[in-house]
Amino acid sequence: MTTLPTRRLGATGPEVSVIGLGCMGMSDFYGPADRDESLATIHAALEAGVTLLDTGDFYGMGHNEMLIAEALKGRREQALLSVKFGALRDPDMGFRGYDSRPESVRNFVTYSLRRLNIDHIDIYRPSRLDPAVPIEDTIGAIAELVEKGYVRHIGLSEVGPETIRRAAAVHPIVDLQIEYSLASRGIEAAILPTCRELGIGITAYGVLARGLISGHWSRDRSVDRTFRAMSPRFQGENLDRNLALVEALRGVAETRGATVAQIAVAWVATQGEDIVPLVGARRRDRLAESLGAVALTLTPEDLAAIEAAVPKDAVAGARYPEQLLRFMDSEQA
């Protein structure tokens, strides 16, 4: 077993590996996953020194939590578990909104503890803002779970500055989980400065923009029945424009002897010691590639070249379809 550099999540949070593993794709949204390979990938991450595993109780409707429980048998002490809750699903795998009422929080955490086969969750967070429930009520309910020992730390996900401030006034918040990458830099205007003012860390998901800036995506893979099928960035002229940006980024990567994915992950990690990229690898080879970013030290010249290859706001298309963006408080800022 090896170790990775660590970063603290916010002013009050735990030390975690500089890169975390997002486990969603092992259960949902990106087509069938190989169970044995998923387990092997989680084990490989732990052996490589990854200590932060991220999941949600609605990923595969509990499947992801049970998969992680299986992977962590005899290894619980090696991992910090970050769990999202609140998203409502239907039998057709669709989304039916969000529920963050205090009584629902208590119900959700009970099921997660059982599926994960653990006695506490390290970081617990609502997956989105429930517009029908004041954030103070939701955070207050999680704070009660902290007092009882069922939760260690409280996080947020995809919320804007006002909500962040209101939540932090109720209980210390260790991190905001939000999309951040070369393709999605919206947090830089107001959300990131707010988090830094309040001592809240960032766990950045989507660092490869769902594979778009991984260097492995191509036009001949554009027939896709997963989340990408409804993602504006993978459609028509948007995809053509975006793949041209990736090729420009590939030129930067080649000068460093790195892959496009490694450059993209390293760029996120370089944006601040308070930021922890989450990589959504479903296979050991993709995990190993992303972890190779840890060895990359980007110089000011590298950063300038990356910025020239993928300028801010150059990526075409919104990061989510409109019907999903309207649920995202972070997009209302």
Q: Is residue 83 within 8 Å of residue 155, measured between CB atoms?
A: no
Decide: helix, strand or coil at residue 304.
helix
For the record, the structure tokens of 228 come out as 């990408």
Q: Could you count the other beta carbons within 10 Å of the beta carbon of residue 301?
A: 9
Instruction: Calculate the dihedral angle through the C-alpha atoms of 253, 256, 262, 267, rounding to the nearest 10 degrees.
Output: -90
CA angle 63, 201, 50 (to 5 degrees): 50
The Cα 248–Cα 251 span in angstroms is 5
Helix, strand, coil percent values for the chain (each to nearest 5) = 45, 15, 40
Nearest to 281 by CA among 182, 183, 205, 178: 205
Residue 124 annotated among the catalytic residues of the structure: no
**DSSP SS3 for 331:** helix
Euclidean distance between CA atoms 286 and 73, whole angstroms: 23
- Catalytic, out of 59, 98, 124, 205: 59
- Counting every residue, how long is the chain? 333
Q: Are 280 and 205 in contact (CB under 8 A)?
A: yes
Counting Cβ atoms within 10 Å, is residue 229 exposed (0-12), middle (13-18) or buried (19+)?
A: exposed
Output Rg (C-alpha) for the chain, integer angstroms: 19
Task: Give me 261's structure tokens.
Answer: 């994915």
Please identify every residue annotated as catalytic. Answer: 59
